Structure 1
Amino acid sequence: MGFDRSCKVQIHVGGVYGDKIGSMRRFVKRFRALDPSISRRIVIENDERLFGLEDCLSVHEEVGVPVVLDTLHYALFNNGDPLISAVRRAAATWMKDDGLPIVDFSLQEEQGRKGRHALTIVPSEFRTFLLQTTSIDFDIMLEIKDKERSAIEAIRIARKDPRFMKPVTRCGKVTER
C-alpha cells in the first residue's frame, strides 16, 4: 500500500489465562515470529484490568514495540505515578520512524461500569490534560461515545495549543492538525 512506518495497528497484549507472565512471554514469542512488515506496524495499549502500562513497557523492553497510553485505562490501573510521567514513559518507546506517539484520551462514564468510556468529552478535563502534557508532542485519539461532537469540541480546545496546529506526517501524508 506504500504507507510509511507511522501507520500503526493498535492492539492489547491479550488475556492472562491464569498466567500473566506466561501470557506476556507468549506475546513476545509470537511478536518476534511476525514478519517485520507486520511487526513494525503494531503498537500495544495498556488496558484497565490485565496489562497496565508497566506490563506494556516490559513487553516494549523485550521487543521494541511502541506503547500507546490510554488515559482512562491508566486512571483505573496504574502504579501510582502521575499521568504526565506515564505519558512521558509511553512516548519514549516511539522511534522517529514510528511517527508521533499516540495517546488515547478518554474518561470514565460517570454512571457506567468501571472502564466504560464517557458519552462526551469534558472540556475542563481535556484542557487540564493538554496543560499537564505541554512538554510532550503526540497525536491524540479520542475514545468518546459521541464521536464527532466531542472531536469538534476537542479541536476547539486544542487550537489554543501550538503542538496541534503544525502539520504532521502520518502514514506518509502531511496533514494539518
Structure 2
Amino acid sequence: MTDAAPPVPARNDYLRAAVTTANPATLHGMLADAAVRFSSRAADLLADGPDRDEAGGYAALDRATALVAELFAGVKPNAAAATGEDADAGRAIAEGVRARFAFCLGRLAEAGRNNAAAPARDAARVLTVHAETWRELLLGSAGQGGAAAAPSPEPLTFAPAPAPPAAASAASRSWAA
C-alpha cells in the first residue's frame, strides 16, 4: 500500500481548466446551470415514490443552496447603477435578480425543513428561467456566432417588472410560478 492519492479524473481537470479560464459572465452561467441541476435533483430525490432518497436529496439541497448563495452574493445593485444615465433601471434590475435568488434560497430552505420536493421544484423553475435568460444575454453579446464574451457594459433596455405588494403571497408573484 502507498500513501499516494488516487489519480484525479480527467473530467475534474477539464472542469478546473474551464472555471479558471472563464470570464465572470461565463462563470455566472455555469453557477446558474449547476444550481438548476442540483435543485432539480433535490426535488427528484425528495419526491414521494420508489426513488425517494432523503440523504441524497439533502446533499443536493446543500449544493443548490451554496450555488444560489454564490449567485446572490455576486449581484451588486450599486455596481449596476454605476452604468450611466440608466442607473435607476440598472439598480432595479439587479435588485429584482437578487429578490429572485432570495426567493430560491427561501424555497430551498423550506424544502429542507419540510422534507418536500415542491419547494425545491419552485426554485428550479425560477433558476431555469434565469439560466436561460443569461444564456440568451451571452449569445446576444457574442455577436454573429462568435465565442461568448462578457456582456456589453451598455445598460439593458428592458424595464423591470413592478414590485408586487408586500402582502402578496409567493404564489401570486409572476416569478414564483
Q: What interval of TM-score do these two structures reach, taking the shorter chain for normalisation?
A: 0.3 to 0.5
Larger Rg: 2
- Point out the structure with the larger strand share: 1
Which structure has more relative contact order (CA 8 Å, sep 6+)? It is: 2
Query: What is the TM-score normalised by the length of structure 1?
Result: 0.32
- Point out the structure with the larger helix share: 2
Query: What is the TM-score normalised by the length of structure 2?
Result: 0.32
